[in-house]
Amino acid sequence: VTDPGDIWVIAGLAWLGRADEARTAAASNLLALRRRGMVGMLPRLLRMLATFDLDEDRWADAAAEAEEGLEWCAELGQSGHRPELLALLATVNAWRGDDAACEQLSAEAVAEAEAHDTKWATLIASRARGLLALGRARYGQAAAIFAPIVDLPLSRGLRGPTLASLPDLVEALERVGLHEEAKERTAEFERRLTGTTDPRASPLTFRCRALTDLGPSAGQRYEQALEAHTNDRDAFVSARTKLLYGEWLRRSGYRLQARRQLEAALEVFETHGAAPWAARTRRELRASGMTMRPPRLSGTELTPAELRVAVLAAAGMPTRELCTQLFLSPKTIETHLGHIYRKLGVRNRAELAQRLPQE
């Protein structure tokens, strides 16, 4: 009988915030399913893996997995997994600042989620629009999107859309001057975190406290948040704290310290291709009196299709098997591998296997 036992273990790890373990288990299950030709389970596993990669800042991986998941959904007629896959892609586009793609994918996800009763996917898709608005500094719109998501008394820990949106709502409220409401939401966040084991809980709590602290002790709270972030490998979440801290330092007259935080944040945002967040940080750096270099262009990023080939090739899958799994001709696989080698500066699969985890 089709055994989803491993899927429940993976889901359990994810709910506990043990994202690395969940991701490793999901990736190893996915590889085993591919090798055994059990493609019927692929959309579900790809959906999980894309969620974990998105949570852990591996946006290119998440996009590649979600796109492959959508292809398998079409191939296998498993439309029930589409709403979440679309919502995950909407989120990647929100972080990267592709407004049109984010809005379109989010709308598709919501429409299809209704047909399949997948309310959770609706929440992920709505949150994507809120993140886009927040990145673009449209704070009023962001607050209006986040509030109804947050108000649902449902949670999948800090990695689910409801609880994860609370710190974002606090930021948006504070920026539109609704300080008392932001403080209430901070207290609500702390209350709703009770019992959560997720390592992200502590830094986000300190960040919310710092945002709503109008006195000089806000700086100390930001420092506490950054210290707590060292327990979490989540560079993007940490960079967002640095941006907020940098903004606070500049407004408080500490220009040099502000630049240190903002430059560190900018480095992460540019590496991730988080255009709206990088733009917001550059504006702040300019306001601190710094002359800005032009945005760094990344011409070495793998496309979703290249990434899919790269991951499987690095795992040791021979070309013949790659063709079968990805429904591509040997010539297309070789072309993809050529592009991958050039972009990553490697010469063969062994070097690719060493290099890929860093990418």
* Binding stretches for another protein (CB under 8 A): 1-5, 8-9, 11-13, 15-16, 37-44, 72, 75-81, 84, 115-123, 152-157, 192-197
Residue number with CB closer to another protein (2 or 358):
2
Smallest distance, another protein to C-beta of residue 235, A: 25
Task: Give the separation between CA 67 and CA 82, rounded to whole angstroms.
Answer: 10
Residue number with CB closer to another protein (123 or 326):
123
Closest Cα partner for 116 from 87, 86, 91, 83?
83
Smallest distance, another protein to C-beta of residue 124, A: 11
Smallest distance, another protein to C-beta of residue 314, A: 25
Residue number with CB closer to another protein (135 or 161):
161
Smallest distance, another protein to C-beta of residue 161, A: 10
Smallest distance, another protein to C-beta of residue 84, A: 8
- DSSP letter string, 171-182: HHHHHTT-HHHH
Smallest distance, another protein to C-beta of residue 114, A: 11
Fill in the DSSP letter of residue 158.
B
Compute the half-sphere exposure of residue 239: CA atoms within 13 Å on the CB side of its CA: 22
Query: Which residues on adjacent β-strands are paired with residue 156?
Result: 158
Task: Give the separation between CA 241 and CA 226, rounded to whole angstroms.
Answer: 7
Smallest distance, another protein to C-beta of residue 118, A: 5
CB 182 within 8 A of CB 159: no
Helix (H) or strand (E) holding 346: none
Task: Give residue 218's identity as a one-letter amino acid code.
Answer: A
Closest Cα partner for 89 from 125, 138, 134, 120?
125
Smallest distance, another protein to C-beta of residue 95, A: 23
Smallest distance, another protein to C-beta of residue 323, A: 17
Exposed/middle/buried for residue 184 (C-beta within 10 Å: 0-12, 13-18, 19+): middle
Task: Name every residue whose Cβ is closer than 8 Å to that of residue 254 and which is 6 or more positions away in sequence.
Answer: none
Residue 357 CB neighbour total at 10 angstroms: 7
In angstroms and rounded to an integer, the radius of gyration of the C-alpha atoms of the chain is 21
Residue number with CB closer to another protein (1 or 297):
1
CB 163 within 8 A of CB 193: yes
CA geometry: angle 30, 32, 35, nearest 5 deg: 110
Residue number with CB closer to another protein (91 or 118):
118
Task: Give the separation between CA 11 and CA 241, rounded to whole angstroms.
Answer: 28
